[in-house]
A and B are shown apart, each in its own frame.
Chain A
Amino acid sequence: MANEKNILQSLNRAIVEGRPEEAPRLAEEALAAGNQPLEIIEKACVPAIEEVGRLWEAGDYFLPELIAGAEAMKSAMNVLQQALKSSGQSLKSCGRVVIGTVEGDIHDIGKNLVASMLRASGFEVIDLGADVKAEKFVETAAREKADIIAMSALLTTTMLNQKKVIALLQEKGLRENFKIMVGGAPVTEKFAREIGADGYGQSAVQAVAVARSLLAGGGGGR
């Protein structure tokens, strides 16, 4: 068996370099070498997905690399979470996010990407898909006791539906129960402020930082 450090490093590289077919095997090997699941997550996986985010921010990575990295992270985490479960432990969630593309909008590339980056970064994500009615966002968030509602829109006409969800929350007296994040190609930080959202991310990587900051009590603007 290769030494412990090498295995963790290989797993780390498999995620950074986006090899989802290799990552689960390396996670298994790391477990077989006697590493605790939590240790593997903290030492290999989390730094890896953070590195993917850094490479994206630096302009070295583009969507294909980001998607591959998130996929590799997911496939490794499946193995490690299973191992955690069998040992009676569980991973502390970073927070619970209800996400979807707003009503009237079928575009889901950005939303999917944000969902997978949030998952890869330790958030619990409830993905409502595309063309999601305001009522559904609100009902689901209330039922699931979500921390964050995240909304995507690609069209200037549908981005107004992000505001509709916020209005509905206010109407039901639920606005203070959730942090609201918005994004999507036409959405800007200014627009996010104008509609009364708490946070805006320009990319899926920024969305993770914004979600963390919002739940840590900070602002969410970038």
Chain B
Amino acid sequence: MIDIRSLAEKKIFLLDGAMGTELFRTGLPPGHCPEAWNLEQPEKVAAIHRSYFEAGSKAVLTNSFGGNAVKLTKYELQEKTYELNFQAAKIARSVCPPGCYVGGSIGPTGKFLQPAGELTEDRLYEAFRPQAEGLAAGGVDFFLIETQYDLREALAALKAVRDVSPLPVWVTMTFNLTKRGYFTIMGVSPEVFVRAMEENAVEALGTNCTLSPADMIELIKQMRRLTSKPLIAQPNAGQPRLGEDGSTYYDQGPEEFARPLAELIEAGAMIVGGCCGTLPAHIEKMAEIVGSYSDKIG
């Protein structure tokens, strides 16, 4: 199990980059359920994990971002929630080198709670619980409840995980930079988020997606002022563009993406990685910087 205390003291912990981006590159057809590949193409999922470990990731996140029963219902796979998550964990575990870790990824349902939408908190809990059970049984070391925008949904997922497992839980929310500062699309501020995570005693917390590394620095600074817990930062590789060959790519290459990393770490980020558009090459570049950092403080 990860010793979160030593992590918080001095080690910078490197996560992986995008899973979805890599799955599509490997041939996942648009419209196909990414988690279904845990059963259909496990070797391809394993190869992606392996490439991140080789790039220097200390932990990879399982291919289970959309593996909650609400989202799987759209693919009529809700009955397989446990199994798809169990396999997701198994696959990552099977290629995890000694001294490295596997995090169980839990993303949002993509639906709104009442009154903005139809969902209830009970329904959410029921959607996340079999996911958490599958990930725990498949052998994850910790959970990452990620890319959340509604605090109530994040808390429903947290409750589901806590009810089935004693493992560490990390939570990230996705913030936009608005005229009035950082907020999630539902209006959750960093203050409200951090307070709720402190109250619920998560082991680490932070932010991912949407923002580029440079735009995340100020947000991490704000969070650092609010908590002493380990902070997570997983920015996007800039913004998507249309390539000359007609495919999409994110406009920050590994060099540009990794450049603000030192400042992000200075701002207080302890657990870093990449979100949309980041590839093993981005992680490799980050690993160089993280390495020099650990030398300095280690």
**Which residues of A come within 8 Å of B, CB atoms?**
58-65, 67-68, 103-107, 109, 131, 155-161, 163, 185-188, 190-191, 194-195
Contacts and interface: CB of A to CB of B under 8 A. Distances in A.
B30 A185 contact: no
Contacts of B178: 59
Interface of B: 20-21, 24, 29-31, 74-75, 110-112, 115-116, 178-181, 183-187, 210, 239-242, 246-248, 250, 276-277
Contacts of A186: 239-240, 248, 276
Given A155-B30, A194-B242, 19 more contacts: A58-B180, A63-B116, A63-B186, A63-B187, A65-B187, A105-B30, A106-B75, A109-B110, A131-B31, A156-B21, A156-B248, A156-B276, A159-B248, A160-B246, A160-B248, A185-B210, A186-B240, A188-B241, A190-B239
A189 to B, nearest CB: 10
Provide the main secondary structure of the chain B interface: loop
Contacts of B21: 156
A188 B110 contact: no
A190 B241 contact: yes
A159 B246 CA distance: 11
Contacts of B115: 64, 68
A194 B110 CA distance: 28
Contact of B242 (A65, A104, A191): A191
Contact of B183 (A59, A105, A107, A158): A59
Contact of B112 (A67, A103, A161, A187): A67
Contacts of B187: 61-65
Contacts of B31: 103-106, 131, 158
Contacts of A67: 112, 116
A159 B21 CA distance: 13
5 contacts: A59-B180, A156-B276, A157-B248, A160-B248, A185-B210
